[in-house]
Structure 1
Amino acid sequence: MKGRAERLGPVVEMSERDERDAAQRLGQCQQQLAQAEFKLGELQRYREDYQQRLVVNGSRGVTGQWLIGYQRFLSQLEEAIGQQERNAQWHRDVVAKARTQWQERYARLEGLRKLVERYRQEQRLVEDKREQKQMDEYAQRARSTYI
């Protein structure tokens, strides 16, 4: 007959798989967030470079047409940055949810492991008591044989 700890084995294995899957999902989400933040950084650096061009070209003198084109492109760039900021924030939210799911699964797994260990300790105590009782009975029989 299996003990309680052994009967929980499949449950622990399933919980380990769930925790491992959640950890992998969290890792994937973190990678996607890193990519989104990298793209955002690139766009922001490009905007800074583009704004520097205005300073350089402005000191040489620019035409109205050039300035209109500059403003139009800068507006599109700002819109792209805003969209990428929203994208990065969405990924941050996804990472936070994935982290929470992983933490829940990890806590459940650790709880199951502690329960299994407690059951094993209880089983060891029962076995130790049974063994001690057998030894006491053996010792008593041995004494009664010599008397």
Structure 2
Amino acid sequence: MATSRAARLAPVVDMAERAEREAARQLGHFQGQLNQAEGKLNDLQRYLTDYQQQWMEEGRRGVSGQWLMNYQRFLSQLESAIVQQRQSVEWHRGNLDKARDAWQQRYARLEGLRKLVQRYQDEARQAADKREQKLFDELAQRLKRREEP
């Protein structure tokens, strides 16, 4: 009976394994998106630093008012892009956190099912061992009766 309980759970375990694998795939996908967003943010920040360095070099040589206005406009756009990219990073981080939570829940459910199946298998094995021992005891008693005068 216990073996049949474990066997009946096999399709449920299979479904839980598929759900866990899909959640792990989603987790990887969102991790990749976060990495990409963080990479873009780093690129923008590096570009800002390079542009500021260029400003310092050009400033030493003297700049026109038009160049200064263009620089300030571009710098403002670049800083705005950095703010937006930080928001994007946070949004992707939130998606990753949700995906991680979903995977952890599915993983925990799968592990719980596996433990239940293992318990049912252990119970079935113990019941089979008891039946076998009982059979051996009965055979030993029969042989003992035959040997008695």
- The TM-score with structure 1 as length reference comes to 0.97
**CA deviation vs aligned residue, 1:75-124 (integer Å, no higher than 9, x gap):** 00011111111001100110011011101111110111011101111111
Distance (whole Å) between structure 2 residues aligned to residue 136 and residue 6 of structure 1: 30
SS at match of 1:62: coil
Report the residue type matching 2:8 in the other structure: R
| 1:3 CA displacement | 1.5
One-letter amino acid of the counterpart of residue 22, structure 1: A
Equivalent position of 1:24 in the other structure: 25
Whole-angstrom CA distance in 2 between matches of 1:34 and 1:84: 12
How far apart are 1:53 and its partner, in Å?
Answer: 1.0
Q: Where has structure 1 moved over 4 Å in runs of 4 or more? A: none
Name the counterpart of 1:140: 141
TM-score, normalised with respect to structure 2: 0.96
Give the drift of 1:34.
0.5
Q: 2:55 matched to 1:40?
A: no
Unaligned 5+ runs, structure 1: none
Task: Report matched runs for 1:50-61 at 5 Å.
Answer: 50-61=51-62
DSSP 3-state at the match of 2:38: helix
SS in 1 for 2:125: helix
- 1:143 offset after TM fit, Å? 1.0
Q: Does the alignment pair 1:123 with 2:131?
A: no
Give me the CA root mean square deviation.
Answer: 0.9
The sequence identity of aligned pairs, in percent, is 61
Letter in 2 for 1:60: R
CA apart distance, 1:144: 1.0
1:51 and 1:99 map into 2 onto residues whose CA distance is: 38
Query: Secondary structure in 1 aligned to 2:63?
Result: coil
1:10 and 2:8 matched: no
Q: Is residue 2:69 matched to residue 1:68?
A: yes
After superposition, the C-alpha distances for 1:48-78 in whole angstroms (9 at most, x for unaligned) are 0111111000001111111011000000001
Unaligned ranges ≥5, structure 2? none
